[in-house]
Amino acid sequence: GENVEQHPSTLSVQEGDSAVIKCTYSDSASNYFPWYKQELGKGPQLIIDIRSNVGEKKDQRIAVTLNKTAKHFSLHITETQPEDSAVYFCAAFGSSNTGKLIFGQGTTLQVKP
């Protein structure tokens, strides 16, 4: 069935360093890949997304890359700040076109001041 694998499960970086989170997906028909940030006690918040017709997208300190051939996509955060500390989830649109998202298991990012 449809599956999204996310690595690493935890990531600790020093303030100012970069952080990279990687995901792979199983369904080659998936065409939409959002990233969500979840803070404690809150719902996931969309931070960036990418569609399958582009290979990279940037928004200030955040970028996402997509390799459709390898079925990989990654989140890159540069110049990390303590407020970037949260749980990050990748997701992929299922091929059944029902709108449901298949989520990765999440990465807990800690940015140490």
- CA dist 23 and 96 (Å) reads 20
Q: Which stretch binds other proteins (CB under 8 A): 14-22, 60-68, 76-84, 98-106?
A: 98-106
Among 14, 60, 98, 113, binds other proteins (CB under 8 A): 98
Beta bridge partners of 33: 50
Q: Is 35 in the site for other proteins (CB under 8 A)?
A: no
- CA dist 6 and 73 (Å) reads 10
Least distance (Å) between residue 16 CB and other proteins: 28
Among 89, 92, 109, 111, binds other proteins (CB under 8 A): 89
- CA dist 15 and 106 (Å) reads 21
DSSP code, position 98 = S
Q: Give the β-pairing of 10-14 and 107-112.
A: parallel
Choice between 11 and 103, CB closer to other proteins:
103
Among 50, 102, 109, 111, binds other proteins (CB under 8 A): 102
Instruction: Say how far residue 110 (Cα) sits from the centre of its chain.
Output: 15
Residues that bind other proteins (CB under 8 A): 6, 34, 36, 41-46, 49, 89, 91, 96, 98-106
